Structure 1
Amino acid sequence: MQKIFLILLSLLNSYLYADKSIDCNIHIDISKNSTQKVVLQLSYDKECSIVMDQNSSKITIMPKADNNISTDINKTEKLISLAKSKLGASYEPAKSGPDHFDCSGFVYYLFKENGIKIPRTSLSQSKSGDKLTREELKRGDIVFFDTYDRKHVNHSGVYLGDGKFIHSSSGKAYGVTISDIDKGFYKDKFRWGVRKIFK
């Protein structure tokens, strides 16, 4: 259990108390109005920002939003929105959009439209980053399968979360569809995932 530190801040003859649970350096920017803004740079370079009323006796430290994480989340949701807009688009070998796709062509198209260049084939895509286990998967990760049990990747899609992924299937759906990773045909076919970082 982390030790809780008590900091005493003196601003314009007012005493304000803040609890913090991690060592950090403190910079105080004193404005001329009725509020004080305190910015804390944590030891692991994550910022916290607090605006507090001068009459308050206690302040709460809240993490400041990480702009890079926010950008990643926004672009991931944009990619998934584009993917879902293609639901029902027909499967066609060697096609990568915008209206017909094979499996890797669908994944290639989604990332290309969001400014990320990835390999064209499922096998090459599966080698384009560190391997992720089923438990490590996050929304927007590329997921890979060996649908013929031949010990090599031959199918790819995009993970949606909650055990679902979207892909262009050459099976019964014969087009862009949403399937389960944890049950049905793909349960024993999943091999690993790869995460691409948005710039």
Structure 2
Amino acid sequence: MKNSIKGVSARLAVTGALALSLSGGLAVTAAPAADAAITSSQGVKAVSIASTKKGTPYRWGATGPRAFDCSGFTSWTFARMGKKIPRTADAQYRASIKLNRGQARPGDLVFYGGKRKTHVGIYAGNGRMWHSPRSGDVVKLAKIRSGAAFGRVR
């Protein structure tokens, strides 16, 4: 029994979710920081960083800082905050915490496309988002169109 408790304790401690204390009681520990969603103050910071690239040209496949495609722009913005997010709009959607429009706050991601998301921007509040829209255009603040999906960066 003593050896099995040590084995369980070791396995639980590795997960970061539960740990057995030396006295034999259970203790709950915080989830790993890597899974934590961005805070509202981090979201405001993301919007501020995104706004510094206003007027930067769109270029397919570009990840900045002199040109961006949509997901390159969001990846670059969050990297300035030490947050690594996937490269493509669809992968960013899959990795995000899904929200409805009423739950969205500044710094959340705004997605377009059907089942496979093909465009992404950063929610700025008041029904607007920063994004790098298409060839021939530039990073700008724009009104969110209908049909958008929302996600929060972990």
Match for residue 152 of structure 1 among 116, 129, 137: 116
Matching residue's letter, 1:193: F
TM-score where L is the length of structure 1: 0.55
User: CA–CA distance in 1 between the matches of 2:44 and 2:102?
Assistant: 20
The SS at the match of 1:101 is coil
Name stretches of at least 5 consecutive residues in structure 2 with no aligned partner.
1-37
* Larger Cα-atom Rg: 1
Match for residue 98 of structure 1 among 65, 85, 108: 65
Q: Which runs of 4+ in 1 moved over 6 A?
A: none
- % identical aligned pairs: 34
1:178 aligns with 2:141: yes
Match for residue 89 of structure 2 among 79, 102, 122: 122
User: CA–CA distance in 2 between the matches of 1:73 and 1:130?
Assistant: 14
Aligned-CA RMSD value: 1.8
Structure 1 contact 180–187 (Cα < 8 Å) conserved: no
User: CA–CA distance in 2 between the matches of 1:119 and 1:96?
Assistant: 12
User: CA–CA distance in 1 between the matches of 2:84 and 2:49?
Assistant: 16
User: CA–CA distance in 1 between the matches of 2:104 and 2:93?
Assistant: 14
Partner of 1:133: 100
TM-score where L is the length of structure 2: 0.70
Matching residue's letter, 1:187: S
CA-CA distance at 1:171 after TM superposition: 6.1
Q: How does 1:27-46 map to 2 (within 5 A)?
A: none
Matching residue's letter, 1:119: P
User: CA–CA distance in 2 between the matches of 1:128 and 1:101?
Assistant: 21
Matching residue's letter, 2:126: D
Partner of 1:187: 146
Change beyond 3 A, Cα 1:196–1:107:
same
More helix by share: 2
User: CA–CA distance in 1 between the matches of 2:48 and 2:97?
Assistant: 25
CA-CA distance at 1:196 after TM superposition: 2.0
Deviations 1:145-194 (A, max 9, x none): 11xxx54210000001111111001066x11011111xxxx223x1x211
